[in-house]
Structure 1
């Protein structure tokens, strides 16, 4: 007698395919409603709570999908649909889906397709992508730092050609005594990991069942590297007799560049060193909208500490800061053998003759005077980063952030103007220079150009300790602020 297929039981009842609609539709409705809410005008706290709801709903939908997929596999409801597909495009499009998750964690994502892989093969692209996505999700989930690498190879056996794919990571790895259990359902090495990293423990089980349904095999390479994990699978494929291309003739519609058969998805890490918290926020938002990963600190001493522990591709350095200024910090960076080659772009509200030369003399790679526009900042960064061609276009979210920060900005500017007026009254020229410098930069970044220009005039007079015109300029500064507030 033929062996009866086992059924996956949930409270003694299986979940047939007919209930898919009833289970998925409510979650899709929740996500749709959340997306509509995201497009409305929300306060910062409301927006944060909406993001929490969205994340939870997406996680729950993923769990529902996994349980439904397992149910269909166990009930024999999975059908295969082999069709000609472009292998490089299939792999690369799958990596495009996973790339944002890798960027969030600062992980490097690499793809290597060997030259012997034909461009077009016959296989079930949907199942293939599902297996690869599950493996990539696992790799990212269990990897704190380092890289995820995908290797694609082809075994041109005349009787049974196979496509082989490996996904490796630099994560926590799998204890040898747990390897035999990792492809079992509802298993995730142990309960501690399940609590820490989440998930149902169905991902690898699904991969195994899907690969086997395509006639292939999946396994864990326990002895190939000391750290991390390597999962490999192969699936039999057919050759597309209608259109065979050599590996070098890649479709121009591909979403990534396939030169040298290697693709790198490496998030660009930028450190902002700026003592003004508002300036930190707006510069960070500008950079994030262009696809950069950003961290910020308030002075040179913090900058040096962070650079000792984390890798950054570029530093944006404010030159006037408390505790340790940008000049001293940059000089110390250039003395460190491990840091000396990192690009450092000076950000300063100084625009006086000799300021640029002073910044370059201490070791800065280039110089950017405040106020600057977003495009000017990004273009200056592009000059020093080879990976800049992959940066995305800016979104509209920076305008939303500016609107949310306006109350804080106005309060900050008023405080600076009040402190500046007191410094003028007491003829404290050092204090006048310092405050007007900060005011010039902050106002300029947010587009309050008249306010920035007046603060610049005050700074110039304070440098020469010319007091006569300062009281009148303070009055003009207050008027500029009132005009800006009315405009807003």
Structure 2
């Protein structure tokens, strides 16, 4: 309904009200989705699919989704995919994209100037190949003493970087649980300017 209103003849004030309605509705839907996923994860009812998918397409498509949001804030958004990454891997493309969406959304939300950069590389750990996807931004750095709390449920409200954000406080917790179910790890590193959030997936 809000989308139909946005396409009708409205003055600037009315358009602003409609945009607020749309954004509020999207935020509420995201919170509800997070709560449902958190419930499924904590009760063990969320399953991970194992089907062939293209990591290149997942990264590219997800980054393209956020181009309008980055442009609106005047941010540079780009990505790079290593040629060493296979064209197809086995896993759950939907859940991989969900994790990347969460990290990209946070990066753009908390970066006021500069860039957000996504990279996908192949690494080896204990002689096993992994895919590592990183999201680097030039937003506020995160206090090292607070980093351990970021991936816990409902932690958003008490973290320095996230204290003014609106949301369920479950996004990073869900991301970590999903990555763990997929056999990977998730973490973050502070840069000289900004932070880098990353997650790994086994290359089967």
In the superposition, the TM-score normalised over structure 1's length comes to 0.40
Work out the CA distance in 2 between the residues paired with 1:56 and 1:105.
19
Work out the CA distance in 1 between the residues paired with 2:157 and 2:2.
34
Aligned residue for 2:58? 90
Task: Specify the SS of the correspondent of 1:233.
Answer: strand
Aligned residue for 1:75? 43
**1:233 has 2:187 as partner:** no
Please give the residue correspondences for 1:431-446 in structure 2 after superposition, counting only pairs within 5 Å.
none
Instruction: Please say if residues 181 and 189 of structure 1, whose CA atoms lie closer than 8 Å, have aligned partners that are also in contact.
Output: no
In the superposition, the TM-score normalised over structure 2's length comes to 0.91
Aligned residue for 2:92? 124
Aligned residue for 1:218? 186
**1:53 has 2:17 as partner:** no
Out of 109, 126, 131, the residue aligned to residue 77 of structure 2 is 109
Q: Residues 157, 48 of structure 1: CA spacing in aligned structure 2 closer, same or farther, 3 A cutoff?
A: closer
Work out the CA distance in 1 between the residues paired with 2:19 and 2:89.
40
Aligned residue for 1:164? 132
Q: Residues 156, 85 of structure 1: CA spacing in aligned structure 2 closer, same or farther, 3 A cutoff?
A: farther
Q: Mind listing any 5+ residue stretches in structure 2 that lack a counterpart?
A: none
**1:184 has 2:169 as partner:** no
Aligned residue for 2:5? 37
TM-fit CA distance, 1:213: 0.8
Task: Specify the SS of the correspondent of 2:66.
Answer: helix
TM-fit CA distance, 1:87: 1.8
Work out the CA distance in 2 between the residues paired with 1:133 and 1:99.
12
State the Cα RMSD in Å.
2.0
Instruction: Please say if residues 182 and 189 of structure 1, whose CA atoms lie closer than 8 Å, have aligned partners that are also in contact.
Output: no
Please give the residue correspondences for 1:54-453 in structure 2 after superposition, counting only pairs within 5 Å.
54-155=22-123, 160-188=128-156, 190=158, 194=162, 196-222=164-190, 225-238=191-204
TM-fit CA distance, 1:72: 1.0
Instruction: Please say if residues 145 and 170 of structure 1, whose CA atoms lie closer than 8 Å, have aligned partners that are also in contact.
Output: yes
Greater RCO (Cα-Cα under 8 Å, separation 6 or more): 2
Work out the CA distance in 2 between the residues paired with 1:156 and 1:181.
28
Q: Deviations over 1:335-368 (max 9, x none)?
A: xxxxxxxxxxxxxxxxxxxxxxxxxxxxxxxxxx
The structure where strand makes up a greater share of residues is 2
Work out the CA distance in 2 between the residues paired with 1:73 and 1:82.
17
- The number of residues matched between the two structures is 204
TM-fit CA distance, 1:46: 2.3
Q: Residues 39, 175 of structure 1: CA spacing in aligned structure 2 closer, same or farther, 3 A cutoff?
A: same
Task: Specify the SS of the correspondent of 2:156.
Answer: coil
Task: Specify the SS of the correspondent of 1:184.
Answer: coil
Instruction: Please say if residues 112 and 150 of structure 1, whose CA atoms lie closer than 8 Å, have aligned partners that are also in contact.
Output: yes
Work out the CA distance in 2 between the residues paired with 1:153 and 1:54.
36
Work out the CA distance in 2 between the residues paired with 1:124 and 1:63.
22
Instruction: Please say if residues 134 and 203 of structure 1, whose CA atoms lie closer than 8 Å, have aligned partners that are also in contact.
Output: yes
Q: Deviations over 1:37-76 (max 9, x none)?
A: 2233333332221111111111111111111111111111
Larger Rg belongs to:
1
Instruction: Please say if residues 174 and 189 of structure 1, whose CA atoms lie closer than 8 Å, have aligned partners that are also in contact.
Output: no
Aligned residue for 1:346? none
Q: Residues 176, 159 of structure 1: CA spacing in aligned structure 2 closer, same or farther, 3 A cutoff?
A: closer
The structure where helix makes up a greater share of residues is 1
Work out the CA distance in 2 between the residues paired with 1:194 and 1:157.
32
Q: Mind listing any 5+ residue stretches in structure 1 that lack a counterpart?
A: 1-32, 239-488
Q: Residues 230, 189 of structure 1: CA spacing in aligned structure 2 closer, same or farther, 3 A cutoff?
A: farther
Instruction: Please say if residues 37 and 174 of structure 2, whose CA atoms lie closer than 8 Å, have aligned partners that are also in contact.
Output: yes
